[in-house]
Chains A and B, each alone.
Chain A
Amino acid sequence: GAVVSQHPSWVICKSGTSVKIECRSLDFQATTMFWYRQFPKQSLMLMATSNEGSKATYEQGVEKDKFLINHASLTLSTLTVTSAHPEDSSFYICSAGGGSGNTIYFGEGSWLTVV
């Protein structure tokens, strides 16, 4: 079964509104989670590193005030897309490492459509 759960799977929102996406590690504690964005037929691009109990680390070119990340517990990170615009429509995926070995688990992903 899934070890990283993401919610919601699909969301449609109006331009100018905000949307929150949750990422939960189910079987392990994750001090660090990662948020990626993927446009159709493109690769996954890392947006930011979510750090439990501290500020997220954003990749170059990602607006931290637009993509708010909160990692308030060891099992939950949230990504809030603020003042969403149609160009923010994309597939957002979180990941976390856990357990033994070097396996990184991805959430199921969240499709965001801004209309």
Chain B
Amino acid sequence: GQSLEQPSEVTAVEGAIVQINCTYQTSGFYGLSWYQQHDGGAPTFLSYNALDGLEETGRFSSFLSRSDSYGYLLLQELQMKDSASYFCAVTRAAGNKLTFGGGTRVLVKP
């Protein structure tokens, strides 16, 4: 079957750095995406990795190792507004169909 594992919850203080790991086992792999979702809202796209390495977008970076079936999302200079759930998702085939991980709830404290 398909599975994506990520921690359920992380708590950190403002200004800190948080790394959310995601390991996956899927039949077929095109790329790993990360989405942010605030309570009551829809997911918003953060990043996408199709190749090994680090992708940096402002305070957020994402990493992928295809050989290890592993990726992570790095949140730097945490702000209160970063409190949300973060989902990793695998694109298993062409056509943008996503399989999501269980989500990591990030709580940022003052």
Contacts and interface: CB of A to CB of B under 8 A. Distances in A.
Interface of A: 6, 32, 34, 42-46, 49, 93, 95-97, 101-109
A95 B87 CA distance: 15
Interface residues of B, number: 21
Contacts of A97: 95-96
Q: Please classify the interface of chain A as helix (H, G, I), strand (E, B), loop, or mixed, using the class held by over half of its residues.
A: strand
B44 A106 contact: yes
A32 B41 CA distance: 23
B28 interface: no
A104 B42 contact: no
Interface of B: 31, 33, 35, 41-45, 48, 50, 87, 91, 95-103
Contacts of B98: 34, 44, 46, 95, 104
B102 A102 contact: no
Contact of A102 (B43, B44, B50): B50
Q: Which of A6, A32, A44 has the most C-beta atoms of chain B within 10 angstroms of its own C-beta?
A: A44
A96 B96 CA distance: 7
